[in-house]
């Protein structure tokens, strides 16, 4: 056994279940807060757990540069290092190599790149990515892939996808299998149905514990993303978890869950929290707006987070105007709580066969007005 995935309920294409790992169970559909550098910005690990999160995401690229995977291993692994005793998924570094590194050179062997921190040269291969994630102690390891940019020609998308499939096989061969730890493949192929189908088939031929859809949330827009899911998901096995990488906003998540996605990650709720943008049932709120300066009400009624239970919109507005770090901390806590409440609502709706009603009700209220102006 590696990881174990159990589907408990279905509603249309949507599923709710449990993914069991070495460090505990993950309720699905699941949202993973992003802890890129072994920390969720502005949050204590205990606070992240209180939001309802079952799993965090860490990043191979950032941790290999600083403080290094070897140091983390010497410290007892990533769970102990960052004081998080629940599951951790680490992405393989492919996206960051594309988006952050300097002077990268892609070959059949891997990627040679210069660090965005100090210009030092590194060579990241599928084998090295697996080694790093093993040193970190990741419960869920992601194969090393090339994140295809958008827009892209069909010829370049095919070339990129085929390279990622060869790297996926090498990742599988280098992965150290053990009880409670899993390896996920990543479907590539940009917006082209035949390439996505070929990629899904190639990954299943290799065999993985779960399947991610990569190469989205890179500027293609929501409708194209949903179109890609519509023609990709039927080609993925129904008994394995499905992970949509880098997504997204609440309406993105709802639409993807209704198409059969089980797992998500995104920096949006934490990044928004640092920039005074709060997520509420009535849409996004910009707490720098002057209209909140004398607003005594909580950010959102019936929200259990400290920002809503103990403070007013006026106080949060003041914190951001005064550039006090507490504002970002409180709003990040709220946003992550809001996302986890959304995931619980989706799980409950699937279990009771009321997903369509839940989605329609949530989106009708969430999108009824622009509260960020």
Residues carrying an active site annotation: 91, 265
Comparing C-alpha atoms, which of 254, 257, 255 is closest to residue 243? 257
Token readout for 249 is 């906003």
Residue count of the chain: 373
Chain CA centroid to CA 212, Å: 10
Comparing C-alpha atoms, which of 134, 130, 136 is closest to residue 77? 136
Token readout for 258 is 């209704």
Neighbours of 230 (CB within 10 A): 13
Cα end-to-end span (Å), the chain: 51
Token readout for 326 is 């507490």
How many Å apart are CA 153 and CA 160, to the nearest integer? Answer: 11
């Amino acid at each position: 056994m590696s990881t174990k995935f159990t589907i408990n309920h279905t509603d249309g294409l949507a599923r709710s279940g449990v993914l069991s790992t070495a460090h505990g169970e993950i309720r699905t559909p699941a949202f993973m807060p992003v802890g890129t550098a072994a920390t969720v910005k502005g949050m204590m690990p205990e606070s992240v757990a209180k939001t309802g999160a079952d799993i965090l995401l860490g990043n191979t690229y950032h941790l290999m540069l600083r403080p290094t995977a070897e140091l983390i291993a010497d410290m007892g692994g990533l769970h102990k290092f960052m004081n998080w005793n629940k599951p951790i998924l680490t992405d393989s570094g492919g996206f960051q190599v594309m988006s952050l590194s300097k002077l990268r050179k892609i070959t059949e062997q891997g990627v040679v790149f210069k660090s965005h921190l100090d210009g030092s040269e590194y060579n990241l291969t599928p084998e090295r990515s697996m080694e790093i994630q093993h040193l970190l102690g990741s419960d869920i390891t992601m194969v090393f892939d090339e994140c295809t940019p958008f827009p892209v020609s069909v010829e370049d998308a095919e070339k990129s996808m085929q390279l990622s499939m060869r790297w996926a096989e090498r990742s599988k061969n280098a992965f150290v299998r053990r009880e409670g730890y899993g390896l996920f493949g990543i479907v590539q192929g940009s917006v082209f149905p035949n390439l996505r189908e070929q990629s899904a088939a190639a990954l299943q031929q290799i065999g993985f514990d779960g399947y991610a859809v990569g190469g989205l949330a890179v500027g293609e827009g929501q409708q194209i993303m949903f179109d890609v899911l519509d023609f990709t998901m039927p080609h993925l096995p129904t008994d394995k978890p499905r992970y949509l990488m880098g997504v997204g906003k609440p309406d993105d998540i709802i639409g993807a869950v209704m198409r059969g996605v089980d797992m998500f990650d995104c920096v949006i709720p934490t990044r928004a929290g640092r920039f005074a943008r709060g997520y509420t049932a009535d849409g996004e709120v910009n707490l720098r707006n002057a209209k909140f300066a004398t607003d005594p009400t909580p950010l959102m009624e019936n929200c259990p987070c400290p920002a809503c239970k103990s403070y007013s919109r006026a106080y949060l507005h003041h914190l951001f105007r005064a550039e006090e770090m507490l504002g970002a901390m409180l709003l990040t806590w709220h946003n992550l709580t809001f996302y986890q409440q959304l995931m619980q609502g989706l799980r409950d709706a699937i279990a009771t066969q009321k997903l369509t009603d839940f989605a329609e009700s949530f989106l009708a209220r969430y999108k009824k007005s622009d509260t960020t102006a």
